[in-house]
Structure 1
Amino acid sequence: MNREGIPGRVARLRERLRREGADVFVLVVTERYNGESMGYLSGFRGSSGALVVSEDRNYLLTDGRYALQARAESPFDSIILDGGSLQDKTAEILRQGGWKTAGFEAERLSVSFFSALEPSVPAWKDCSGLLPALRRRKDEGEAAIIRKAADLAYDTYREVLETVREGMTEKEFNALLEYNLRKNGAEGGWKNNSFIVASGERSALPHGVPTGRAFRKGDIVTVDFGATVEGYMSDLTRNFSLGPLSPQGRDIQDTLLEAHLRAAEAIRPGAECRAVDAVARDVVTRRGWGKHFPHGLGHGLGLEVHEAPRLSPHSRDVLEEGDVVTVEPGIYIQGWGGMRIEDDYLVTAGGAVCLSGGKGREAPAL
């Protein structure tokens, strides 16, 4: 993960802490949980550690397994545990600091860990929304990494597509895709999420995980996939068919293409997320498929595959410059199948910039 943006991120964190009335912030990672925010703020990507950030101090606490890694990845002052627990050492640092009010993430800190820290500071303030808000705004470097992850994912998908044949199973396709992503330079697919490979009637499942079902002549296959590069993820959905698309399949594809492009045109700073969703939903409804579009239009993307903001009829989010969001209208018909078309967009002052290239949106017939 690029260290160049860390000073700016820490400065923005401190500014927000002042607004919250907190003079220190504590972030904890256990067994990789919450590791995305740890990496974003400090650069450190180990599986266990804690950050303590005040107006004039930045501490990174971890154990001996990560002594070299912590110093290589992070500009923070490293404190390496020499026996004892992470909870006890973090509490000791807080006591020594003499801070009055500590910000923490109630949504991401276990009760037992918090109980160990609580006596070390007089007052605590839940700042669970602080890091997600900071992470929303992607800088040029972050956007470039997501673009790289999208290009790598799409090129690898096209490579695997050349191997498709009748009788290949969903699991085989998925395994080849994941293997080739790593071979081609990705850290892997998505962290903590599996790809979607759904064929034939199973493509009516928006979240159809790969099974042993074999591809058959006439199948539509929906593939929702991405790559991780330097911790950042891309998220694309493409479709292909074994044989020509049916007239209904062509109509659904054309509907989704129109809905996708119209929604992308509506993306700009200040746009309500539900209004962008409505643009795509109106197209799908006008063309007769409205009841078959059961999910929101998209979501934020970055260090996690699902982040703020949400593009949905129920969202109260407003798009901001620097957001990266997916646009993924879908149509699903029980007993027949379904399709979805997804790309990743950066919100800029001038509108939406497609980070995933927009290539291959029309389903090829294999």
Structure 2
Amino acid sequence: MVFDAYAARVERLRGILEDRGLDGFFVMVNEGLNWESAYYLSGYRGSSAAFLITKDEGILITDGRYMTQARSQCPFHVEDQGSRSLVEALADFVHATGMKRVGFEASRVFHATYLELSQRFRASLVDASDVMPTMRRFKDRAEANLIAEASRIAASAFLETLSLAGPGMTEKEFAAILEHKLILGGAEGGWGSHSFIVASGPRSAMPHGVATERAFGVGEWFTVDFGARYGGYVCDVTRNVAVGSIDPWAMDVYEVLIAAQDEAVKALASGERRAFEVDRRARSVVEEAGFGSLFTHGLGHGLGLEVHEAPRVSKTSPDELKDGDVITVEPGIYLEGRGGLRVEDDYLIGPEGPECLSAPLPKEFFVIR
């Protein structure tokens, strides 16, 4: 990512601050938590920092472990917190600028950190937790290309892992080999904050069934929900794999899911922007096939630097889809005691219609023997 992109984002943020009557804004990274927002604005990817945006400059504050890294990644002014706590150093800079009202992400700081901020800050702290999700929701072409490259790497790694899989392999073994292949293929790794979902047999009825020691059995199928991270950005894809042969019931369900996903994509292509309506269009296909009560989650969600971002695509979502949104479209059907399936792909919303960023991975019911 070129430095100009970070400068443009900070300028966009300043416009938001002005509209809200704020003198500044900061994001904090604590033991790696919330690195995404700091990276989005400054380019810095260390595990401890505060990035302060004033009306005139950006200041990244971190400790001695990260100074060389910060200066190489961040185009803004970098300061060593020295012997001070991160909050103390941040408070000193806020006081020196004379700011009166400072926005921050209340939803992204620990309670103990908030108490220290309240104690040390002379300026008023104003919760602006919605600012970064709103900004990060829009993906430019460079960001979309990173997600597409993550998808290409993920597709290759998945197909390589399938070539090594067979009856008797455990869910954990499959997940471990898959992540190893992702890294060898050029990804930073998997999602990091979330484990891959590898759920076989009756366990596939759990939409979030993380991998266990259960072995793949002949005549069963397993569902794999996974992704790669590349350049900070992630993809999120789900495919289904039969062991030996495809169960006729599972094939029927799979065909319904493909039709439901296609209906959602048609809605997006037609210019439909109401998230709940896109969900309804896909859900109606599942309901007409008699599986309506077995589709137990929303149709999709935004993704980017995190696996789950704005907007939300569900039957209760108030969100309007916008150009620059990257969303998943992932209908699923789950029958307790028997199993479930899900088909998931990533789409960039644009003025010319949806673009499938996960297209490199064939959309088929795979079979291993």
For the aligned pair, the TM-score class normalised by the smaller chain equals over 0.9
- Report the 3-state secondary structure (helix = DSSP H, G, I; strand = E; otherwise coil) of the residue aligned with 2:7: helix
State the partner residue of 1:168: 169
**What do the CA deviations read for 1:104-124 (whole angstroms, capped 9, x no partner)?**
111112333333333534322
- Report the 3-state secondary structure (helix = DSSP H, G, I; strand = E; otherwise coil) of the residue aligned with 1:51: strand
Matches within 5 A, 1:1-366: 1-118=1-118, 119-267=120-268, 271-357=273-359, 359-366=361-368
Q: Which amino acid aligns with 1:299?
A: H
Deviates more, 1:28-37 or 1:261-270: 261-270
TM-score (norm 2): 0.96
Relative to structure 1, is the Cα distance of residues 299 and 272 closer, same or farther in structure 2, using a 3 angstrom cutoff? Answer: same
**What do the CA deviations read for 1:233-266 (whole angstroms, capped 9, x no partner)?**
0000001101222221221111000101110121
In 2, are the aligned partners of 1:35 and 1:45 still within 8 Å (CA)? yes
* Alpha-carbon distance in structure 2 between the residues aligned to 1:225 and 1:91: 41
In 2, are the aligned partners of 1:170 and 1:214 still within 8 Å (CA)? yes
* Alpha-carbon distance in structure 2 between the residues aligned to 1:170 and 1:116: 44
**What do the CA deviations read for 1:124-167 (whole angstroms, capped 9, x no partner)?**
22110001100000011000000000110011000000011111
* Alpha-carbon distance in structure 2 between the residues aligned to 1:129 and 1:281: 29
- Report the 3-state secondary structure (helix = DSSP H, G, I; strand = E; otherwise coil) of the residue aligned with 1:250: helix
Deviates more, 1:141-150 or 1:122-131: 122-131
In 2, are the aligned partners of 1:223 and 1:238 still within 8 Å (CA)? yes
* Alpha-carbon distance in structure 1 between the residues aligned to 2:292 and 2:329: 17
* Alpha-carbon distance in structure 2 between the residues aligned to 1:302 and 1:140: 12
* Alpha-carbon distance in structure 1 between the residues aligned to 2:11 and 2:122: 23
* Alpha-carbon distance in structure 2 between the residues aligned to 1:110 and 1:208: 29
* Alpha-carbon distance in structure 2 between the residues aligned to 1:267 and 1:41: 30
In 1, are the aligned partners of 2:222 and 2:241 still within 8 Å (CA)? yes
Q: Tell me by how many angstroms 1:360 deviates.
A: 2.2
Instruction: Give the percent of matched residue pairs that are identical in Structure 1 and Structure 2.
Output: 46
In 2, are the aligned partners of 1:326 and 1:345 still within 8 Å (CA)? yes
Q: Tell me by how many angstroms 1:358 deviates.
A: 6.0
Q: Which amino acid aligns with 1:68?
A: T
**What do the CA deviations read for 1:178-215 (whole angstroms, capped 9, x no partner)?**
11111111111002100000111111111111111111
* Alpha-carbon distance in structure 2 between the residues aligned to 1:183 and 1:312: 36
**Structure 2 residue runs without a partner (length 5+):** none
Q: Tell me by how many angstroms 1:2 deviates.
A: 4.5
In 2, are the aligned partners of 1:102 and 1:121 still within 8 Å (CA)? no
Kindly report the root-mean-square deviation, in angstroms, between the aligned alpha carbons of the 2 structures.
Answer: 1.3
Deviates more, 1:351-360 or 1:335-344: 351-360
Q: Which amino acid aligns with 1:8?
A: A
**What do the CA deviations read for 1:251-299 (whole angstroms, capped 9, x no partner)?**
1111000101110121266611111111110000111111111010000
* Alpha-carbon distance in structure 2 between the residues aligned to 1:321 and 1:114: 35
Q: Which amino acid aligns with 1:180?
A: K
Relative to structure 1, is the Cα distance of residues 363 and 32 closer, same or farther in structure 2, using a 3 angstrom cutoff? Answer: same
**Structure 1 residue runs without a partner (length 5+):** none
Deviates more, 1:123-132 or 1:112-121: 112-121
* Alpha-carbon distance in structure 1 between the residues aligned to 2:217 and 2:240: 15
**What do the CA deviations read for 1:70-124 (whole angstroms, capped 9, x no partner)?**
0000101000122121111111101100012111111112333333333534322
Relative to structure 1, is the Cα distance of residues 214 and 7 closer, same or farther in structure 2, using a 3 angstrom cutoff? Answer: same
* Alpha-carbon distance in structure 1 between the residues aligned to 2:297 and 2:193: 21
In 1, are the aligned partners of 2:94 and 2:123 still within 8 Å (CA)? no
Q: Which amino acid aligns with 1:363?
A: F
**What do the CA deviations read for 1:306-332 (whole angstroms, capped 9, x no partner)?**
001111111111101100000000111
Relative to structure 1, is the Cα distance of residues 338 and 270 closer, same or farther in structure 2, using a 3 angstrom cutoff? Answer: closer
- Report the 3-state secondary structure (helix = DSSP H, G, I; strand = E; otherwise coil) of the residue aligned with 1:266: helix
In 2, are the aligned partners of 1:273 and 1:318 still within 8 Å (CA)? yes
- Aligned residues, how many? 366
